[in-house]
């Protein structure tokens, strides 16, 4: 009998730092869903990462449950994939500490997310913000992941993960699988609707810049109608037309239409028609997610059962890697 080839491992995580956005969905979560049949998928709510920015405890607790329910509502199937909560699995913090000692200050200083977030939170440039990529490297390496589906903003963090893993393997032998980023062709970098030079972020203070998965249809339509464009009044993808380019990217990612098809569809029409069409397409894409979320979030017992089951599996898998790492480093077991 022929051996069935072992499925490759996919790992990715998302922070419960606010309501999940259209950017998170198009850049990452939609891929999480589509990879579930072909790969062994392991997904996490990265709540340890979230406290690198100060959180209100009650709101944070709510955000964790809401984000857990939202991801299942997006289509992550807890029967097929392992979907756990990072802070429930102690191996993450432990491997992060060890890997901190194999990561250079200089390489962490070059991380653009650290530079951006320290500029944004100048009153709280904490050590966790600086070592964030090491915790993320540990998350991925614990599961010996082959592929990591993320948005384009995480490319540099995947690169440093590979550098840390190679450095460790160079000293101790093949302990870690070297992972590969899996970045979508379309929707990898969704920008703010109000400032298309900045990426759309959960924690954006300008509520009109960001579309949340759970926004009601009328709110989504209003945000798209207010989206920043330009004075040319011509729907085409071109340098300097950041607002229109962003709307075309979103429309293309949601409908599957190419930029050329979009340009033809809106030839001779103004931005008003275009914005309405983008808004409506997004509303229809998100409608089933919001409806499913509303059902799920009421059933706290079911959600708890899901994450407890997944936490245990994650602990079992990750403990194997952590055990190997500790033995290689020389700890007495």
Catalytic residues: 117, 199, 202
Give the nearer residue to ligand AQP in terms of CB position, either 27 or 179: 27
Closer Cβ to ligand AQP, 156 or 319, answer by number? 156
- Contact between 200 and 192 under an 8 Å Cβ cutoff? The reply is yes
Q: Which residues bind ligand AQP (CB under 6 A)?
A: 14-15, 17, 21, 23-24, 26-28, 46, 150-151, 153-154, 188-190, 199-203
- In the complex with ligand AQP, the residue whose CB is nearer, 183 or 234, is 183
Q: How far is the CB of 155 from ligand AQP (least distance, A)?
A: 8
**CA–CA distance, 110 with 297 (Å, rounded to integer):** 39
Q: How far is the CB of 45 from ligand AQP (least distance, A)?
A: 9
In the block, tokens 């320290």 appear at 118
49: DSSP letter: H
Whole-number minimum distance, CB 23 to ligand AQP, in Å? 3
Q: Kindly tell me which of 181 and 279 has the beta carbon lying closer to ligand AQP.
A: 181
Q: How far is the CB of 331 from ligand AQP (least distance, A)?
A: 30
What b/e string do you get for 50-85 counting C-beta neighbours within 10 Å, with b at 16 or more?
bebbebeeeebeebbbbbbbbbbbbbbebeebbbbb
Neighbour tally for 253: CB within 10 Å: 23
Collapsing DSSP to helix, strand or coil, 21 comes out as strand
* Residue sitting closest to ligand AQP (CB): 27
Chain centroid to Cα 208, Å, comes to 21
Among 154, 145, 148, which residue's Cα sits nearest to residue 111? 154
């Amino acid at each position: 009998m022929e051996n069935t080839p072992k499925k490759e491992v996919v790992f990715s995580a998302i922070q419960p730092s606010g309501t999940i956005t259209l950017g998170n969905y198009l850049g990452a979560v939609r891929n999480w869903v589509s990879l579930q049949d072909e790969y062994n998928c392991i997904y996490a709510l990265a709540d340890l990462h979230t406290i690198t920015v100060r959180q209100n405890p009650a709101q944070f607790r709510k955000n964790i449950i809401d984000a857990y329910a939202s991801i299942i509502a997006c289509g992550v199937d807890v029967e097929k994939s392992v979907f756990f909560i990072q802070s429930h699995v102690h191996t993450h913090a432990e491997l992060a500490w060890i890997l901190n000692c194999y990561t250079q200050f200089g390489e962490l200083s070059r991380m653009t997310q650290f530079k951006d977030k320290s500029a944004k939170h100048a009153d709280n440039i904490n050590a966790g913000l600086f070592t964030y990529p090491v915790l993320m490297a540990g998350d991925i390496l614990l599961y010996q992941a082959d592929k990591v589906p993320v948005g384009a903003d995480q490319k540099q963090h995947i690169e440093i993960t590979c550098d840390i893993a190679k450095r460790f393997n160079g000293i101790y032998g093949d302990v870690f699988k070297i992972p590969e980023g899996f970045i979508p062709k379309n929707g990898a970098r969704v920008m703010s609707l109000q400032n298309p030079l900045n990426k759309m972020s959960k924690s954006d203070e300008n509520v009109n810049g960001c579309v949340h998965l759970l926004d009601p249809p009328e709110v989504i339509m209003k945000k798209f109608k207010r989206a920043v464009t330009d004075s040319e009044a011509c729907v085409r993808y071109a340098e300097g037309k950041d607002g229109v380019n962003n709307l075309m990217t979103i429309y293309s990612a949601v409908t599957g239409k190419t930029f050329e098809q979009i340009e033809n569809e809106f030839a001779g029409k103004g931005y008003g028609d275009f914005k309405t069409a983008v808004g409506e397409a997004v509303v229809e894409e998100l409608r089933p997610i919001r409806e499913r979320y509303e059902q799920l979030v009421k059933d706290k017992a079911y959600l708890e059962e899901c994450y407890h089951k997944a936490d245990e599996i994650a602990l079992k898998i990750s403990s194997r890697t952590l055990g190997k790492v500790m033995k290689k480093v020389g700890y007495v077991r």
